[in-house]
Structure 1
Amino acid sequence: MSNNSAPGTNAPPAEVPDYPMPRAAGCPFDPPPALHTLQAQSPISRVRLWDGSTPWLVTRYEDVRALLANPRISSDSTHPHFPHSGAAQMERRTLARSFINMNDPDHARLRRMVTAAFSIKHVEALRPAIQKIVDGLIDAMLAGPKPVDLVEAFALPVPSLVICELLGVLYADHDFFQANSKILIRRTTTAEQAREATQRLIDYLDGIIGDKLAHPADDLLSRLAARVGVGELSRREAASMGVLLLIAGHETTANMIALGTLALLQHPDQLAQLRESDDPKLIASAVEELLRYLSITHSGRRRVALEDIDIGGVTIRAGEGVVLANDVGNRDPAAFSDPDRLDVERNPRHHVAFAFGVHQCLGQPLARVELQVVYGTLYRRIPTLQLAVDLAQIPFKHDGLVYGVYELPVTW
């Protein structure tokens, strides 16, 4: 059991709140009230994690952004005091360590190998193909029975189809990789379950890398396989990168599609603005606002200090864990006026939903285009879209590392 406090320096008080914290009943889109209280009264304070460790929790937007950009803060998940979000995540990062949990130069070396595939220019070229996928899934929904689960029929297939095409993975295998992905992003998953799911995904991606070595195609895994072929990358590294890209490429965007739709349905005035507009600027603004408002990565960005850092009147000592609460940071009134209000015209591009600094989300250009196409199409094509059940019956992913809904029954 790790302990992120250094004896005799900034020792945690006897009463340290547990993290993550519960959301308020009836307020599924808002961060936990306790986070707002900490932000106002004690913006850098200790919390207790699942393993008994007591890292620092940072809740103010300015501090979150500053620390995400600080080279004295490490993303290395092998550090003994790294504040893992659970036993399953610690196991996964051990078995399939990827560049997001490394520091430079290894982080930069590996990330550069896949950056071009997620560049703005490249993903913009994918927009017509994404539009075709979105329209095809909407056609199928409109032709089928009602009500329908929007997660299964639309939110999950859209990014899954896109990332499969980008990577060179068969969409026919989506049940397999989605099932294992769900295991890995549940906070309640055991280390053994995570080990087994991770190994299944590594074996699966390793097999694809092997196929791409023999039969390369025009896809990202073929390009990684080529680097394996010339000795720039090991097969294990390539497979681990494939696991990261496959999971991150569909889970986060799928949750944003479903949760964003639910939030808009609960704010009909904002939904009406989107539905009645074909202005790309408004649609892009709505995407940024929903990313800020929902912040589906709701368990904080995890880091560990490499050196002593003075910030916000507190000294974070070398070796101490740090949790950067981007969800409440995106609701900081010092950074966003009236932050608890959803306003699709706000366009808050400076939000930290994708983090900040050298470790900011690699796939954010792709996520933005996917969400722009979805939010700009779904409500216009199904203008009477509505919930088929009461909000109280919607199952939210309070137990997930990525926030969202398990099901979203809708009708029209």
Structure 2
Amino acid sequence: MKAEQTMTDQQTGSFPYPRTCPLSPPEAYATLRAEQPISRVTLGSGRQAWLLTRHEHIRQLLASPDVSSNMAHPGYPLSFDVPQEVMEQQRPVMLAMDPPDHTAQRKLVISEFTARRMLQLRPRVQEIVDEHLSAMLAAGGPVDLMTTLALPVPSMVICELLGVPYADREFFGECTAKLLSVSTGYEELGRTHQQLHQYFTELIAAKTAEPGDDLLSRLVEKNRDAEVLDDEGLVRMATVLLVGGHETTANMIALGVVGLLENPDQLGKLRANPDLVPSAVEELLRHFSIGDQVTSRVVLADMEIGGVLIRAGEGVIGLSASGNHDEAVFTDPGELDISRGGRQHLAFGYGIHQCIGQNLARIELEIVFTELFSRIPGLRLAAPVAELPFKDNAGVYGLHALPVTW
């Protein structure tokens, strides 16, 4: 491709593309990687954006200092229609910030999610998983794995970590579902944000008055010295950590279970060699890539990617699910291979916005898959894959329910 190609030359229709198989990325991704790896599409918001489908191009985008995560920028590739004045009135959260503000906020919380600190949390995660599996076995099948294991485990873990009462899980679960659904109108989004804002305003006030041994209390204390966040910023940080700390992992648990059950040869390898669990987790993260569009950016200065000129002010979506199925990086990428190993996938993003909770997610996934398949060796789906309710209209791919039995 030549850098002077126009967006009209490269227009490839509307986005997102449909899936023909719920356990694989849209077929259009492979076609684009081979024939038109950098193209233009029209989003549900009516905006146009560039699509990047190759691994190397996505990494180049995410590593560039000349791109922004600011969702209020008029060129940002929003997939839903929100009036520009509404976006500009919203204060950004850490995920939608650029340096130096992003750097300062990330520094406040990154120490809470180091591999060493998560290792200290591992015994408690083990207890939580064991308790829920025991309850499942006592109740007997069939059960909905989403409500009995996949959602409650990461929800309880993040609640204990943050210092959020677990009794409020239904409230923030409903709020999270609305925030991550692309079909939620902006007025409903506004009401949901307001509800979460009120909840965390009261909770942080309580933590300030009476600190506990939890992340939010420590965040309040650190911020007292660093003065990075005002009261509103503390509330928004808490919201981001809570929402991001359970919904993504819950969907990965569910999809991982389906993926392994639908690939009995791989599940057999895992049962025969439990040491493969960490490798299996990386492969499942790569294979499903549930946050396909999290790597959306707007370009701040003209830049060339793969021989194509992308101009300042234009939006770009680096499709992580496509990059993670790039034949130039992964052999037979459409096949689930738990022996593949390696962390060169983009499931947690890349660059300065790489997911801070990835160490926690890995621990939760490792423990769940280890215990679930060892304690319930006869686990099987209670409905065909074609009948499972996949989240086709959500910003984070996954399942609404997962009926299983044994």
TM-score range, shorter chain: over 0.9
- Counterpart of 1:79? 73
> Which residue number corresponds to residue 242 of structure 1?
238
Task: State which of 4, 18, 23 in structure 2 corresponds to 1:22.
Answer: 18
- Are 2:150 and 1:145 aligned? no
Match of 1:353 in 2: 347
Please state whether the residue corresponding to 2:274 is helix, strand or coil: coil
The residue number in structure 2 matching 1:174 is 169
Q: Distance in 1 between matches of 2:146 and 2:212?
A: 31
Q: 1:388 aligns with which of 382, 389, 392?
A: 382
1:126 is paired with a residue whose SS is helix
The residue identity in structure 1 corresponding to 2:175 is N
Once the 2 structures are TM-superposed, how far is the Cα of residue 56 of structure 1 from its aligned partner? 0.6
Q: Contact 1:123–1:366 (CA<8 Å) still a contact in 2? A: yes
Give the one of 103, 112, 130 matched to 2:125. Answer: 130
CA distance in structure 2 between the partners assigned to 1:150 and 1:92 by the alignment: 37
Write the distance in 1 (CA, Å) between the matches of 2:9 and 2:328. Answer: 28
1:17 counterpart SS class: strand
Matching residue's letter, 2:165: L
Change (3 A) 1:92 1:174: farther
CA positional deviation for 1:88: 6.7
Q: What is the match of residue 210 of structure 1? A: 205
SS in 1 for 2:297: strand
Q: In 2, distance between residues paired with 1:11 and 1:47?
A: 9
Q: 1:12-411, aligned counterparts within 5 Å? A: 12-13=8-9, 16-24=12-20, 27-87=21-81, 95=90, 97-227=92-222, 229=224, 231-279=227-275, 282-411=276-405
Percent sequence identity is 47
The 2-side partners of 1:69 and 1:358 are apart by: 8
Q: Which moved more, 1:206-215 or 1:218-227?
A: 218-227
Deviation for aligned residue 1:78: 2.0
The 4+ residue runs of structure 1 with deviation greater than 3 A are 13-16, 87-96, 227-232
Unaligned runs of 5+ in 1: 1-7
Give the drift of 1:311.
1.4
Counterpart residue identity of residue 194, structure 1: L
Contact 1:88 1:194 in 2 (8 A): no
How many residues in Structure 1 have an aligned counterpart in Structure 2? 401
Shift of 1:9: 8.1
The Cα of 1:17 is off from its aligned counterpart by: 1.1
Give the whole-Å Cα distance in 1 for the aligned partners of 2:19 and 2:136: 33
Contact 1:276–1:380 (CA under 8 A) maintained in structure 2 = no
Cα contact 1:49–1:85 (8 A) shared by 2:
yes
For residues 65-117 of structure 1, the C-alpha deviation after alignment (integer angstroms, 9 at most, x for no partner) is 11111111111222111112324798689645211111111000001100011
What CA distance in whole angstroms lies between the structure 2 residues aligned with 1:278 and 1:312?
41
Q: Distance in 2 between matches of 1:216 and 1:325?
A: 41
Shift of 1:217: 0.7
Residue identity in the other structure for 1:266: E
Q: 1:132: how far off?
A: 0.5
Relative to structure 1, the CA distance from residue 405 to residue 360 in structure 2 (aligned partners, 3 Å threshold; closer, same or farther) is same
AA aligned opposite 1:314: V
The superposition leaves residues 30-89 of structure 1 with CA deviations (integer Å, 9 ceiling, x where unpaired) of 111111111110101101111221111000011111111111111122211111232479
**Conserved? CA contact 1:304–1:321, under 8 Å:** yes
SS at match of 2:338: coil
The letter of the residue matching 1:117 is E
Kept after mapping to 2: 8 A contact 1:329/1:352? yes
